[in-house]
A = this chain, B = another copy of it.
Amino acid sequence: MQQTTTTSFRKLCAEHGIAVTHQRQVLYEVMHGMEGHPSPEEVYAKVKKKVPAISLATVYKNIHLFVESGIFRKMSMHHGSVRVEMNSEAHHHMVCSRCKAITDIGEEELGLAPSRNKLPGGFLVERYSVDVIGLCEKCQQA
């Protein structure tokens, strides 16, 4: 089983053209086994139990690497700072995955019909916030 895991991680790395290291493998396995949407600090705390000498910088570097190579993805666009919305119209956002430009798009233009107002688990809907991830026109050319 250990052998199998190791082998499949080697394969994953080969597919993505990244080197296999012990830290990377443990990090991958720990992250893979985590529920929800952990922060880098939470990942670090868990990995440290298996590789006590690991550095927080290594965790950050490899989280980025995993995200860039498509092994995992970011939960949502994370802007360095909080952003305020002054447009009070009901609208959503187009986010360019390359240049990170954010453009408003009206609810009708987007053509989204939020149906339910109660969701599984008894969650009561207040509003929907849709980020459309994709490429802006400029970035499609480049």
Question: Which A residues are within 8 Å of any B CB, using their own CB?
Answer: 31-32, 34, 36-41, 43, 63, 66-67, 72-86, 93-94, 96-97, 102-103, 105, 109-116, 119-137, 140
Contacts and interface: CB of A to CB of B under 8 A. Distances in A.
Q: Interface centre among A40, A83, A109, by most B CB within 10 Å?
A: A83
A72 B88 CA distance: 8
A111 B90 CA distance: 20
B85 A75 contact: yes
A67 B83 CA distance: 11
A84 B133 contact: no
Contacts of A122: 136-137, 140
Contacts of A128: 130-133
Contacts of A110: 116, 119
Instruction: State how many copies of this chain the complex holds.
Output: 2
Given A74-B83, A78-B78, 18 more contacts: A31-B86, A37-B83, A40-B82, A73-B84, A74-B84, A76-B76, A94-B123, A105-B119, A111-B116, A112-B112, A121-B137, A122-B136, A122-B140, A123-B135, A125-B133, A125-B134, A129-B131, A129-B133
A47 to B, nearest CB: 13
